[in-house]
Amino acid sequence: MLPGRREEGKCNSTPPCTLGLCETKVRSVADEDLTIKDFLQLSPELKLPFAVHDSTLQKKEKDSTAINQKNYPVTKQLKLFVLGKSTDAQKGNYVFIKSVAGNRKAVHLYYFNEKSNFTGSAKLLDNGPAAKPGRYVRIDSRYNISFIKEQRTPTGEYWTDETIYYMDAQASRTVNV
């Protein structure tokens, strides 16, 4: 076989592939023609537990995680970045997406069932006018979603308020008692 030719979906020579001469293109979440299944496969896998803090909002994301916005309404300065996904074998995929519009930033959780159908979403954290310090969200290995607020009382003690949800089969958030 000649160097640089493609055989069974793989290049047999490194230099031509490195130069982009192979027939197959490396796909990314920024591609225009992605299906939901492609998007879910290309999203990086997250290890649970996963926490979303203020620092997650402030962190500058890599351009390689930017989502193509051709099919979204035109919103001034809106950028979307996939933070990652976690797959629950019984239920489906949880995808974490960060949105940035000027100074406003937020992290959203999108839920896709086992057939890759979108079934629901939730805003996990934002830096809007009502945002307060000491808030974060944690998703554990059982896919419980914990919204946590930590405050210091005037006496110097720490106070923690934690509300735990889970996504049911219809992707609605339900309080976990």
Mean pLDDT on 34-53: 85
Between these two residues, 148 and 91, which has the higher pLDDT value?
Answer: 148
Q: What is the pTM of this model?
A: 0.73
Q: What is the pLDDT of residues 54-110, one digit of tens each?
A: 878 777 766 655 665 555 556 667 888 889 999 987 778 899 989 888 888 899 998
144-150: long-range contacts, CB 8 A cutoff, minimum separation 24: 144/176, 145/109, 145/173
CA 41 to chain centre: 12
Cβ 135 vs Cβ 121: under 8 Å: no
At position 32, the amino acid (one-letter code) is: E
State residue 5's pLDDT score: 40
Confidence of residue 172 (pLDDT cuts 50, 70, 90): low
Query: What is the average pLDDT across 11-32?
Result: 54
Average pLDDT over residues 147-169: 88
